[in-house]
Structure formats: C-alpha cells, structure tokens
Structure 1
Amino acid sequence: MNATKTLSTAWTGDILALIAGALVTLSLAPFDLWPFGIVSTAIIAWLMTDLAPGQAAKRGWFYGLGLFGSGTSWVYVSIHIHGSAPIPLAAFLTLLFTALLALLLSATFFIYSRWLRDKPTGRYLGFAAVLVLGEWFRSWFLTGFPWLLMGYSHLETPLMGWAPVGGIYTLSFITALTGAVIAAGLQQRQWQIAPITLVTLLWLSGAIISDHDWVSPTDKQPVKVALVQANIPQQVKWNASQYQPTLDLYQQLSAPLWATHDLVIWPEAAIPGFYYNARGFFDHISQLSTANGSSLITGIPTLQPATADTPYQYHSSIMGFGDGGGIYHKQRLVPFGEYVPLEGILRGLITFFDLPMSSFSPGPPNQRGITAGGLNLAPLICYEIVYPGLVAEWFPKADMIVTVSNDAWFGSSIGPLQHLQMAQMRALENGRYVLRSTSTGISAIIDQHGKIVVSGGQFTREVISGEARVFSGATPFAVYGSWPIVLLLLAICFCCVIIKPRRLYPS
C-alpha cells in the first residue's frame, strides 16, 4: 500500500490535516511566515487524494479545526477574562465555536471530492476555486466571519499587486492554486507545463502590477492626524465610577491637539455611556475643536428614539464634531459582544451572554459618511473593517478610511495583530489611507499601499501623531468589488462539473 493510500484512510491523515490547518495561522500576523499558507494548501490537497466524499468531509473538518482552533484562540480570552466564564466552560465554548466553524471546511471538501476532484483540472483549478468560494461564503453566511483568509499573508509578497485589482479572494485563490499545483506535481512525480506556467504568470504579473499606481494624490495638503489611545482596562471601562474620570482623561489627552492637528480620533465607544448623557461634554469639545479649525471623530453608543413604526434602538456609532459632522451606525455586529443570538434563551445563563452594551441593533445600509475639514471619510467600526465588500461600498467617494475599535476584548492574544493586518489589506485594496484608532492598541496610520506609516504600542496610553495624504480615483477592486473573482471561481467549478474526463480508449 503506497503512502497516499495509507493517508487516505489512516488517522495519521486526519492529524496531518489538523496541522495543515494550523499552518495557515502561522502564515498570517503576527508570525507572517507566508510560505506556510502555500504548504498548508499543498498538504490538504495531497490528503484529499482518493477520499470518498464522506471521508473528505471528515478530513476537511480536522483541517478547519486546526485553522480556527489556532487562529481564533483569542475567543477564549473574551469568554474567560471578559465574560467571567470558568476555565472549563470557556474552553468548552471556544472548542464548540471552532468545531462549528470547521463544519464549513467539511462541506467545502465534500463538494470538492464529490463533484470536482476527478474532473480535468479539478485537482488544482477546482480545488483552489471551491476552497476560496468557501472563504467567500463564510464572509456573509449568518452575518459572516471573514477571518483567517489565506490571502492576508501576501501583504509583503509579489501577490500584493493583485489586491487592488481583485481583492483578498484573488490572493487566496493564487495561494491555493500554487499549493495544489505543487501537491499534484509531487504526487504524480510529473510536472505539467500548463498549470506551472499559469501559476508562474500569476506571480510574475502580481510583481509587475504592484508598481502601478491606481490612485493619484490630490493637491490637498496632508492631514495632520492624532489618534488618542487612552488604554482604559476593559474590566473597569463600564463601571459607573469610571465615567467622569474617562471624560477627564480624554479631555486631558486631547487638549494640546486641537491647535496642532486637523483631525483627532477617539476609539470605539470611547465614552462609556450614551451620547444623550454626554451631550454637554461634546458641545464643549466641539467648541474647542471648531475654534481651532480641528475635527473630532469618535465612537460612541447612541439611542434612536422609538417611532410609530419602530421601537427604540441602541447603536454602536461614530460621530463627527467641530469642523466635522455626521453620524454612522455600525451595520455588522459581533455576535454575543454586541447582540445575543437566541436572546430569549441565552440571556442570563452566564455572564458572557449578558455583557455590557450587548443589545445593539444594526444600522441601516446606504448611510452617509462622516465629514472632517472638507474630507469625506468612510467610517468603519471594529469588526466591519474585515468585510472587503462593505469597505469598498464607500468608494470612490471617500477620501480616507476611519476605523475605530476596542481590541481590549482580545487581550494580549494574536487577535489585535490579525485585526491590524486586515485593516492594512483594506487600505491596499481601495488605495486609501486608513486611520485606525483603538482603545488599547494597536492604533496606526496606514498608507494607500497597506504600509504602516506610524503606529502605537499595545496596552499603552499615548497619542499617535502623523500625516495622512488624500488620494483620488479608484482601484478596480473599489469599483467592482469581489464579484469578478467570485464569478470566475463559480465558472471554474461549473466547468469542472460539466466537462467529462477524456477517454483514453474507445468504448
């Protein structure tokens, strides 16, 4: 029995699949070992050889468990530290979360084994297409979880040139295709010219187009930006006794900034209360910033009064003050952190299901953006920056992206660095600066190429100051979004299904 056949049925193949899934996490921030992403796809492509659909589904589940078990370990921090769940319960809920997510990979590889693998080009084009369609499906199914996408590992490789053209899913596709071609060549001990040529051309063309400027700098002066990182511990943030000290702290940190900066940005839910309670405070801040020709952008919870048609609603919002204005309500909410699914059943069972500010309602689509000093800003709150399509909807109108976040929920895990990497990708995809203000780090100014211009530390109280340039025009991704690559992947799968293998001999 050869090695491939042994791995097809032995438990060692499942263990290798588990390890292969974890390699994707190592390819992403903060490890940034990008070749591991290709190695991961090569291993799982090899391990899927000759498996029946049911076996492929099981092995795909192990691959997903390795991916999400390693890459979303920060969920445990949120549940145990901030949700006050005992260690066994927090561990169980984290395992349950990752096990359920892994079912999506199980379905992906069932489809691959059942309908794609044994068709012409199915072992590489079909493999890559269905794997990335799985990523895309995960980005919107049940509000979406577009975390740990393979393409994020290529912010610093030749493939980065494809990001402004086709977005993150294009990078994921080339990653998966490269791994599948390597696996097929090693497995068959025979390298086919066509797939190798295709992969080589994709990498070379990525390097070439990475030098192309899709957007152009305007004649506007660079914007002097200050990101205020107050570093208030999450454990005490919502205590009533912290309300006035928090107001005083933000006022103290911002006082020297109004006269020296065009734009001051506070993080998500900077003030631990609703806007209507702090209206007098913000009126005063608005007067200070207006008098100095400056603007304040801040995250703050808001209350929308009830009408004849709708009940009152709580929102996680961004508001502009001073030389700026506008309000935006967060559209993509974090389950359990900002709303509780099956609320009537889960509320009150444990502290994690009853966290402060976990009764938000999503904002409506097609909202107006935020303005500051004559600039149109695309506002994104925390988790929203990880949605490629949601961000692209603001372009080409928006001059910059402003994202506010509270990454204290992640603790000192790998979560904040993963989150920052995703913000970098949104800058690269859309050709705009990203101004990222967080409560405990990592706050950063990111340029239109996805490079960090300046950043702060983690769990530090500081003001991050720098300049941001204004660009005009639109990248192809900003215009068309992910639809071109998604339609291409669907077409590949369709062709793999309908094209029958060639007969070598007449029947």
Structure 2
Amino acid sequence: MHELRFSPALGCLLALAAGVLTTLTASPFELWWLAPVAAGLMYAGLPALTPAQAALRGWCYGVGLFGSGASWVYVSIHDYGYTGVPLALFLTGMFVVSLALFFALTLWLYRRLCGPRLAALTFAGAWVLGEWLRTWLFTGFPWLLLGSAHVDSPLAPWAPVVGVYGLSLITALTGSLGIEFLRRRWWALAPIATLWLIPLTLPTQWTQPAGEPLRVALLQGNLPQLIKWTPEGQRVAANTYSELTRAQPDDLDLIVWPEAALPMFEEEARPILERVQSNLSPDTALLTGILQRDGQGLYFNSVIGLGDVEGEYRKEHLVPFGEYLPLENLLRGTIAFFDLPMPAMTPGPARQAPILAAGTTIGNAICYEIIYADLVAERARESELLLTVSNDTWFGRSIGPLQHLQMARLRALENGRYVARATSNGVTVIIDPRGRVTARAPQFETTSITGEVVPMSGLTPFTRTGSWPVWLLAALLVIPGVQLHRKP
C-alpha cells in the first residue's frame, strides 16, 4: 500500500475528527480503544506533508480535542465569571485555539527535522515529547493526555511501570504501527502484539498494606458557587459542614472536608473548627481545605488538620487565571472575569513533608495538582495514602469533573496507593491502589461517604523513577529519524 495522501481539507477534517475521538476515550465516554485510532489518523499521510501543512493538521487536531474535551471552561467563565455569552465564547475559543498550538508545534518540528527513516517510531516519540512540553511550558496543562484513557483498558497494568506518558507512547506506537500494518508491512504486528500482551505478565499489585485499614468519611457540602464567598455563603458552609460532621459515626479515624470548604481564612474559621473538634472523638482526625494568609500579606491554598494531626500542606502548583492572574497589571479591570474577588495565591514550597493524620502519612494534591503525574509520584514516595481535595463546582454539570476523576484514578494506579478524593459537589470518591472506585457520592447532593482506606508501603517502578525514563526513551526514538540536512 502506498503512502496515504489526503487533500488539505480532508486532512484537516480527519485531524479534527481524531481530536474528538481522543475526547471520547476519556470519561464519561471511556472508549479507550479509540485512542490508537486517533493516533493512527494523525500519523497517516503525515510523511507526505510539508512542515507547514503538518502544523496546520496538528492545530486542527488540537482544536478538535480541546474544543470537544475542554470547552467546560466556558462554564466557569460565563456562569461564575460574570461574563456575557459572546465574550465567554470568545475567551473559550481563544483558550482552545491557543492550546492547539502545542500540537501544531509538535508536528511542525517532527516534519521539519525527521525523515522517513523509522517514521512510525519517531512519530510516537515526537508525540510524547509534545505532551511533555504541554505539561511544563507556561505552567502546563496535561489534560487529556493520550495515555489517560487506559486506566480501564488492557494496558492498565503498564501504568505502575511507565506512568501516563508511557501509556501515551504505547498508544501512539500502536496507532502508527497499525498504519504500517495496513500498508502490508506485516512486521508491524509483532511489536503491537508484544506491547499489548506484556500486561498479562505484569504484577497486579506492586505495594502492600502498611497497617490496619482506616475508617474515613469524605464530606460533600454542595454549596452554590455564586453565593459561596458572600456572608450568607459563609454561614451556610459553616452550618452544612458542622451538621455533616455531627452526623458521622463515632468510630471514624479520619474526616475530610473539601478544598476551601469554609470560604474564609483560617483565623476566621478557627472558632468554627474548634467547635466541630470538641464534638469529635479524641481518636478522630479532621482534615480540611482552607485559605491561609501570613503576616507578610501572602495567601495560600492549604490543607490543615485538627485532632490527631501533625503538619499542613500548601498548594505548590497553582492554576493560572484561577488562583493567580498572569500579566495582572494588564488584565485587571479589563473584564469582570479578571476581577473576581479572590486574592492571588502564593505557591507553597517544593518537597513539603507529608501530613501525619491518624497515624498515617498522607501525601496531598489540591484540585488541579492531581493531574500532574510526577508531582503526585513525588508525594507518594514519602506517604502511605494520597489525598486530593477539590472544588469542581466551577465546571457545573459539564464533563470536566468526570475527566478530573479519571486522572485521579490513574494516579492511584500509577503509585499503588489509595486515593481519598473529597470535592465540593462531586465527584467525591475513594479509589483503591488498582484505580477502582470503592465508594462514590452522587454529584450535586449535600452528602458524605464512609469507607475504608489502607495505608500502603512499597513503591511502584513509576513512583521510584517518575516519567523521565519514558521522556528519555521518546527522545531516543526521535533521534534516529532526525535529518539535519534534508533535501527539498
């Protein structure tokens, strides 16, 4: 079979479709088998393109991916950012087309530097290096990575070994080698089969219990975001979480409130927290998300504890436009969305010690941080349990919170740790070390869930190394295809 060639219009339409197919691999659709198909569509016909044509096709893929899979930002901009429909649509569109430039750059560099030698391998390596770039450049946005869909696929046992970027590499290789197979290059079937059969030989559990199970309760207040930061919202929050806590059984080891459960600073919340603590068993620890401010006027998004708790955590990786405003001097006052009544947060220090609660070391990831695989692996190395508190209320009834949950499940699988996830209005869950949800609260309800988590010891291969071996492998796959002096 000869090299596939598409007209420019058809190529762009196929790239848009491939982006949408990638969204369908994620929650709530979870059609993981479409991920290699999407990668194959992007690889097919690519060697026949000029660098500029490849960049356009990559950009179309990104528009299809983020336009279908991350347009939930419209909800936060319009519904909670006091922005009219036309401007909210414009800002959402700018968000989508800007993120799509990562794929344009990746495929432009791929066609500019790489020739036909080992094209299927160099394409997969370039794809993963593009994901690496998207993870760190401009604070990063590792959302809807190609490998994130495989928490429930036959490739799932690879996750504790190679992490999400390894899953992306395997997926991209499956897609590109699949196209080679369709070109009657029968040798391509052997590496595909090997990559998909190896998981049958991998251990199902890399870690082991480090102690007795803990009885935990995760509280979900379901407070309306539009009134949360008003005096009325503060009273409702204090009453809601106090009543939910009083309703819990006495034999709990740990109670968790979500991110910024009480919409006030720690010093303002202390009287409420102390009243709640006075009604708890001495053996019960309570952790809550809270805003802190210090004597120097700095603000932190934090997790603190009451009762049998030592230490605290301050969020390290902040959300641009959500927790701080890039180019603040230029943007403040331009539109209401940039003037939300939220102080600019300060990032917490790197490599913070885990919180010790109920005799268990707990690694924390506040909201957005759970999507950073290497940051979570760093926390897992020093802890027996992972905790993530979040406020996904900003994204309403969109698919965003469900995608967020899927990534939290993959972090549990990568690190062989239980993950307790407490959110303001869902999805509040307990996840076991194999990425399975063992308890789940319904979304958009004022409720709580109780269940058991087991402190785990031992490290998975991915927890030990993080993603750098996969990034190095991706670079090594690209290097043989590089042609520094290509003929026209």
With normalisation by structure 1, the TM-score equals: 0.93
SS of alignment partner, residue 49 of structure 1 = helix
Aligned to 1:295: 285
- Determine if contact 2:205/2:434 at 8 Å carries over to the other structure: no
1:498 Cα deviation (Å)?
6.0
1:158 Cα deviation (Å)?
1.7
Sort the Cα spacing of 1:150 and 1:358 in 2 relative to 1 into closer, same or farther, 3 A: farther
SS of alignment partner, residue 305 of structure 2 = strand
Alignment of 1:237-256 (within 5 A): 237-256=228-247
- Determine if contact 2:380/2:417 at 8 Å carries over to the other structure: no
Alignment of 1:335-354 (within 5 A): 335-354=320-339
SS of alignment partner, residue 278 of structure 1 = helix
Q: 2:233 and 2:63 mapped to 1: Cα distance?
A: 40
Q: Percent identity?
A: 45
Q: 2:151 and 2:173 mapped to 1: Cα distance?
A: 18
Alignment of 1:465-480 (within 5 A): 465-480=450-465
Sort the Cα spacing of 1:184 and 1:300 in 2 relative to 1 into closer, same or farther, 3 A: same
Query: Structure 2 residue aligned with 1:139, among 130, 135, 142?
Result: 135
Are residues 1:414 and 2:414 paired?
A: no
Aligned to 1:183: 179
SS of alignment partner, residue 199 of structure 2 = helix
With normalisation by structure 2, the TM-score equals: 0.96
Aligned to 1:266: 257
SS of alignment partner, residue 44 of structure 2 = helix
1:446 Cα deviation (Å)?
0.1
Aligned alpha-carbon RMSD (Å): 1.6
- Determine if contact 1:401/1:433 at 8 Å carries over to the other structure: yes
Query: Structure 2 residue aligned with 1:15, among 13, 18, 40?
Result: 13
* Residues 177-203 of structure 1 deviation map (CA, whole Å, 9 limit, x = unaligned): 1111112222x3x1231x321121111
SS of alignment partner, residue 389 of structure 1 = helix
1:3 Cα deviation (Å)?
9.2
Are residues 1:217 and 2:205 paired?
A: no
Are residues 1:127 and 2:120 paired?
A: no
1:235 Cα deviation (Å)?
1.0
Mean Cα deviation higher: 320-329 or 380-389: 320-329
- Determine if contact 2:427/2:440 at 8 Å carries over to the other structure: yes
- Determine if contact 2:181/2:189 at 8 Å carries over to the other structure: no
Are residues 1:169 and 2:165 paired?
A: yes
* Residues 384-410 of structure 1 deviation map (CA, whole Å, 9 limit, x = unaligned): 000001111123320100100000011
Q: 1:137 and 1:163 mapped to 2: Cα distance?
A: 20
SS of alignment partner, residue 241 of structure 2 = helix
Unaligned stretches of 5+ in structure 2? none
Are residues 1:455 and 2:440 paired?
A: yes
* Residues 97-135 of structure 1 deviation map (CA, whole Å, 9 limit, x = unaligned): 11011111001101121222x33212x111111111111
Query: Structure 2 residue aligned with 1:423, among 392, 408, 420?
Result: 408
Q: 2:265 and 2:459 mapped to 1: Cα distance?
A: 36
Query: Structure 2 residue aligned with 1:152, among 145, 148, 152?
Result: 148
Q: 1:499 and 1:243 mapped to 2: Cα distance?
A: 62
SS of alignment partner, residue 142 of structure 2 = coil
- Determine if contact 2:20/2:69 at 8 Å carries over to the other structure: yes
SS of alignment partner, residue 316 of structure 1 = strand
The code of the aligned residue for 1:150 comes to L
Equivalenced residues, count: 485
1:281 Cα deviation (Å)?
1.9
Aligned to 1:329: 314
SS of alignment partner, residue 326 of structure 2 = coil
- Determine if contact 1:320/1:371 at 8 Å carries over to the other structure: no
- Determine if contact 1:337/1:358 at 8 Å carries over to the other structure: no
Are residues 1:192 and 2:186 paired?
A: yes
Query: Structure 1 residue aligned with 2:482, among 485, 497, 505?
Result: 497
* Residues 276-299 of structure 1 deviation map (CA, whole Å, 9 limit, x = unaligned): 11222222333433x431000100
Query: Structure 2 residue aligned with 1:61, among 56, 59, 62?
Result: 59
Q: 2:227 and 2:327 mapped to 1: Cα distance?
A: 28
Aligned to 1:505: none
Aligned to 1:398: 383
SS of alignment partner, residue 235 of structure 1 = coil
Unaligned stretches of 5+ in structure 1? 307-311, 502-507
1:151 Cα deviation (Å)?
0.8
Q: 2:200 and 2:134 mapped to 1: Cα distance?
A: 29
Q: 2:384 and 2:124 mapped to 1: Cα distance?
A: 35
1:328 Cα deviation (Å)?
0.9
Q: 1:217 and 1:257 mapped to 2: Cα distance?
A: 26
Q: 1:416 and 1:180 mapped to 2: Cα distance?
A: 31
- Determine if contact 1:21/1:65 at 8 Å carries over to the other structure: yes
Aligned to 2:198: 205
Q: 1:184 and 1:10 mapped to 2: Cα distance?
A: 22
Aligned to 1:283: 274
Query: Structure 2 residue aligned with 1:440, among 414, 418, 425?
Result: 425
Sort the Cα spacing of 1:207 and 1:498 in 2 relative to 1 into closer, same or farther, 3 A: farther
Sort the Cα spacing of 1:192 and 1:500 in 2 relative to 1 into closer, same or farther, 3 A: farther
SS of alignment partner, residue 155 of structure 1 = helix
The code of the aligned residue for 2:267 comes to Y
Q: 2:235 and 2:305 mapped to 1: Cα distance?
A: 21
Q: 2:422 and 2:413 mapped to 1: Cα distance?
A: 18
The code of the aligned residue for 1:173 comes to L
* Residues 212-265 of structure 1 deviation map (CA, whole Å, 9 limit, x = unaligned): 4211123x2211010000100111111112212321211111013262311100
Mean Cα deviation higher: 421-430 or 315-324: 315-324
Aligned to 1:309: none
SS of alignment partner, residue 26 of structure 1 = helix
Q: 2:295 and 2:249 mapped to 1: Cα distance?
A: 32
Query: Structure 1 residue aligned with 2:104, among 96, 103, 106?
Result: 106
Are residues 1:235 and 2:231 paired?
A: no
Q: 2:180 and 2:388 mapped to 1: Cα distance?
A: 42
SS of alignment partner, residue 417 of structure 2 = coil
The code of the aligned residue for 1:299 comes to G
Sort the Cα spacing of 1:98 and 1:232 in 2 relative to 1 into closer, same or farther, 3 A: same
Q: 2:46 and 2:61 mapped to 1: Cα distance?
A: 11
The code of the aligned residue for 1:106 comes to A
SS of alignment partner, residue 318 of structure 1 = strand
The code of the aligned residue for 1:154 comes to H
1:496 Cα deviation (Å)?
2.0
Q: 1:359 and 1:500 mapped to 2: Cα distance?
A: 48
1:500 Cα deviation (Å)?
10
- Determine if contact 1:21/1:66 at 8 Å carries over to the other structure: yes
